[in-house]
Amino acid sequence: MGVREVVFNQRERLTRLERLACKWGASRAATVATANIVVNDAFAELCRLPDCTVYGLSAGCPPHVGGTFEMRKLLTQYEWAIALKIDVPTDILLGEERFHLYRVLHEIVAAVEQAAVEKGFSRARAFAGGSCKRIFCADQPDCSVLYGGPCRHPDRARPSMSGYGIDVSRLMNAAGWQMSWITRNTSAEEVPMGALVGMVLVG
């Protein structure tokens, strides 16, 4: 197989992963060069107390993940990532319903990760927004992994992008999407839609 055929084959596999992400619930999906993914130490710092009330409560969040150092190292080992988003009305993003959608986001990136492995991207790794403790194990006293046990949801829960300092705004720009910043003070009338974002490093 020549170089041109190899490149075409890889592009086709990446396109299929984008389509699968949308089939499984993503509003949009796009292949992004990892060279365009930006890591910001300040974003990872927001995962600490008192800014984040679930700091330290799960294996997928700081301080139990490699943070910005590990992510910068990882990005040098991959050429591509599948970025995906779920468009969500702002009033839902600011309410308790958002946790259900975070669960959907984790399930989509985990499924894309598995599909990528099956398509030959054996080192695929998925990341999503939100704490897996709050999303999947809110009714549990602790994260079992932190006490030497197995993850209760290994096929669905994935590490938090925030804990690795991923600049979501820059990631969305690299994917060709616009981002609207949503905070507790955002008016749903002024900014009607936001998004939840995840990514899968693929090759």
pLDDT in tens, 87-118: 999 999 999 899 999 999 999 999 999 999 99
Dist CA 90 CA 92 (whole Å)? 5
Dist CA 5 CA 175 (whole Å)? 25
Dist CA 103 CA 25 (whole Å)? 12
Q: Which residues pair with 196 in a beta bridge?
A: 86
pTM for the model stands at 0.93
Containing structural domain, residue 171: 3-201
pLDDT in tens, 33-73: 999 999 999 999 999 888 898 999 999 999 999 999 999 99
Residue 160 host element (H or E) = none
How many Cβ atoms from other residues are within 10 Å of residue 63's Cβ?
A: 11
pLDDT in tens, 110-169: 999 999 999 999 999 999 999 999 999 999 999 999 999 999 999 999 999 999 999 999
Number of domains in the chain: 1
